[in-house]
Structure 1
Amino acid sequence: MSEYTEYLREVLSDFGPVTARRMFGGHGIFHAGLMFALVADDVLYLKADDENRPDFEAAGLPAFGYEKRGKRVQLSYFQAPDDMLDDPEVAVHWARRAFAAARRARR
């Protein structure tokens, strides 16, 4: 586990226990067995769907994406707001919304 993912476990401790698993050159962040966030290049991205995506867009936060065979691939994860990493209350709010999106996607 990286120093950054250890730090995220601390930041998200008020949300509940989270674990990090190495995936695709980064880490998946899990709560209750469900991936609700990912870390790529020490940047946190949160799960988004039609219900919470407008919050990310209103804050001007970019979607996670990568290049594959010359094409841009975008996943349903958006960069977490900076204040989330400084304020436990804000962290819980965004984590709950991302976890809810992950639960909806699982259905």
Structure 2
Amino acid sequence: MPTNFADWVVAQMGGLGVVEQRPLFGGVGLFRESEMFALVVQERLYFRADKETRFLFEHRGLPRYVYKQGGVSFSLDYFQAPAEVFLSQAEMLVWSERALRSAYRSHSSLVA
């Protein structure tokens, strides 16, 4: 039984395989096979995006994850999850898989 929001999110991603939680940015990063594809902060879920998927978030007006450090704001390529992922486990899986593919693409472009 999930004990907090991040646990509930991971439970909803059941079809994705083993998802690990690691403390990060005042919340938890969600990882599969060492790739971070999502972030949970203050009971909000953010998915990883890249040049191929960013428009899916931007055209809906979903905000990017922004944090402050030393008075300076930084934004990451993680966008707030759309509402439908909380209504359907199937939608959670679709968006989670999309975010995971974005993480893999971003990682492989750094290595190449």
TM-score, with structure 1 as normaliser: 0.91
CA deviation after TM superposition for structure 1 residue 82, in Å: 1.5
Report the RMSD for the aligned CA atoms in angstroms. 1.5
Specify the alignment match of 1:64 in structure 2. 65
Q: Matches of residues 1-107 of structure 1 in structure 2 within 5 Å?
A: 3-107=4-108
- More displaced 10-residue stretch of structure 1: 31-40 or 64-73: 64-73
Distance across 1 between alignment mates of 2:99 and 2:6 = 17
CA deviation after TM superposition for structure 1 residue 48, in Å: 0.7
CA deviation after TM superposition for structure 1 residue 74, in Å: 0.5
* Matched-pair contact (CA < 8 Å) for 1:11–1:88: yes
CA deviation after TM superposition for structure 1 residue 37, in Å: 0.5
* Matched-pair contact (CA < 8 Å) for 1:62–1:78: yes
SS, match of residue 52 in structure 2: coil
CA deviation after TM superposition for structure 1 residue 63, in Å: 0.3
How many residue pairs get aligned? The number is 107
CA deviation after TM superposition for structure 1 residue 70, in Å: 2.8
CA deviation after TM superposition for structure 1 residue 43, in Å: 0.5
SS, match of residue 31 in structure 2: strand
SS, match of residue 65 in structure 1: strand
Structure 1, unmatched stretches of 5+, are none
CA deviation after TM superposition for structure 1 residue 15, in Å: 2.2
Counterpart amino acid of 1:85? Answer: F
Q: Percent identity?
A: 35
TM-score, with structure 2 as normaliser: 0.88
Distance across 2 between alignment mates of 1:61 and 1:102 = 19
Distance across 2 between alignment mates of 1:47 and 1:22 = 17
Structure 2, unmatched stretches of 5+, are none
